[in-house]
Chain A
């Protein structure tokens, strides 16, 4: 059987994924929590596992560097990758939300400045609503932006809301729910149909358990 490459986001998603794969009787021998290696094979050499940065998973899959990927919906949406998004793994659940200082009314502001790590998601959301917006792309500490006047609001991932609360921000509106997804390169789906579909079926079963 032809091997396929599975790209997984480093960190929490990786731990979840490894546990899921173990439930499917897929084991990666060299894989230990302290390992710094980025490439692993299962015993039968039918799956090559690579660890990449979370935001890069959709790119690896779209470009065919990996056949399958496990990635957060947040990164899938932001990358706008042309891929199949086959399964919701029901882990890493959170949501995209617009947040700001209490009392901000985003529908009455003439023009809105938004700070975010996800410019595409933010732009699309406000385009749908018909708001006139300016996007400030940041790479971290987004919550700071409304506090120091860099932006009116932020668009970010909200899990518990604790970070927002501690910084005196509130959720103004929900954008979209997020969870971890199984994504597949469209050519791989065609070329390695049997192997990949078997993998999906097994994964589905182990998700239901």
Chain B
């Protein structure tokens, strides 16, 4: 018989859940220190919002639901889109340096590892398109990776406008452009060369497109290489923006962590300028992806320049586990407290005060101590005649709560 339990959050992964929460709280903390405020949106969204905006999310991938009135809804397939729509609904005048972060799930039929549901933790910065903002956002992504304990990572920076500007000079069909994109994304030079030969494109442009996959490496050498191609002014203008961001990033002293990858093309079509993704050693997929999407707001009627990124939390935790960066979760209980009928009131009152002081306390009738095996640092007995507190195989007697506090305090101070 098939198991009826969905595998995503398996019951035996309680430890992993603690570690996951710890990791998420690190991300949240770092986002807050850069001035971002947490927000949450509905998991249900209107299907029409995605269906009418072509090229945003493949409608086949979305998980659809029909509500009682017959309206078609989808489970949130992306976060940037609803946030942008939400921003456009706010008063336009207030959108200036608006910083938000989120920890939310996205739902799609086809996602990596067969999971329909994946958690993203990310930020969005609305209302400013200057390169200083781009640099700070990338610096935040790197800072967060560092917080998680990683030391072996690289951020690849590319530019969505670069490929778009090059391709705009050709008259290729959408299918042809998609095919070229695939070849570039997999750096499949052999097949791309043959494919380009079958298309009618001006020779210099063909050479430029063919070289995209290997415009990769140290920013300065990549820029030097591109400049040899004699590109038109529009492409040069896009590149200038990229160089500006890199110049600003130098102030953060992060040059070691950054490579340029002009062959970087994100499947999300809304990116307009700089795009980036972060890799951790041995993990073949980016744990963080982001970029600038200045024109997405226009689709909802308001122009709002914006940049953002999202960590794939599930992949990040997998990476942290591979790199042995997950600490053993604190599973132990501080105090286990036993009482009998006569001492119950005093014991639970003590438990209440101890919990207020931050100890984790569980309490049971005395008989339980004979059958259960409960792991706690302290074992405290409230019996009719005598109160005892046991720790590290030593047993102390105490008269009242003040005494007990003294014992706990002394233990804390002496380790």
B284 pairs with A87, CB closer than 8 A? no
B284 pairs with A82, CB closer than 8 A? yes
A191 pairs with B189, CB closer than 8 A? no
A190 pairs with B186, CB closer than 8 A? no
Contact of A83 among B153, B261, B283, B284 (CB under 8 A): B284
A64 pairs with B283, CB closer than 8 A? yes
Name A150-209 residues within 8 Å CB distance of B. 181, 184-191, 193, 197
> Which residues on the B side are within 8 Å of A186 (C-beta)?
279, 284-286
B283 pairs with A88, CB closer than 8 A? no
| Bound Cα distance A187, B191 (Å) | 22
| Bound Cα distance A88, B282 (Å) | 24
B186 pairs with A191, CB closer than 8 A? no
B284 pairs with A187, CB closer than 8 A? yes
* Known interface pairs A186-B285, A191-B281; A83-B152 also in contact (CB < 8 Å): no
Q: With an 8 A cutoff between CB atoms, is B339 at the interface? A: no
Minimum distance in angstroms from A189 CB to a CB of chain B:
8
Q: With an 8 A cutoff between CB atoms, is A84 at the interface? A: yes
Interface residue SS majority, chain B: mixed
Interface residue SS majority, chain A: mixed
Q: Quick one: CB contact mask for B52-91 with A, threshold 8 Å, 1 for yes?
A: 0000000000000000000000000000000000000000
Contact of B188 among A86, A188, A189 (CB under 8 A): A86
Q: With an 8 A cutoff between CB atoms, is A85 at the interface? A: yes
A191 pairs with B285, CB closer than 8 A? no
* Known interface pairs A190-B154, A197-B217; A84-B186 also in contact (CB < 8 Å): yes
A85 pairs with B284, CB closer than 8 A? no
Contact of B189 among A62, A63, A86, A184 (CB under 8 A): A86
* Known interface pairs A84-B187, A86-B188, A87-B190; A62-B284 also in contact (CB < 8 Å): yes
Contact of B284 among A63, A86, A88, A193 (CB under 8 A): A63
Q: 11 A-B pairs, CB-CB below 8 angstroms? A: A82-B285, A85-B187, A85-B188, A87-B189, A88-B190, A181-B190, A186-B286, A187-B282, A188-B282, A189-B216, A190-B259
Interface residues of B (CB under 8 A from A): 152-154, 156, 186-191, 216-217, 259, 261, 279-286
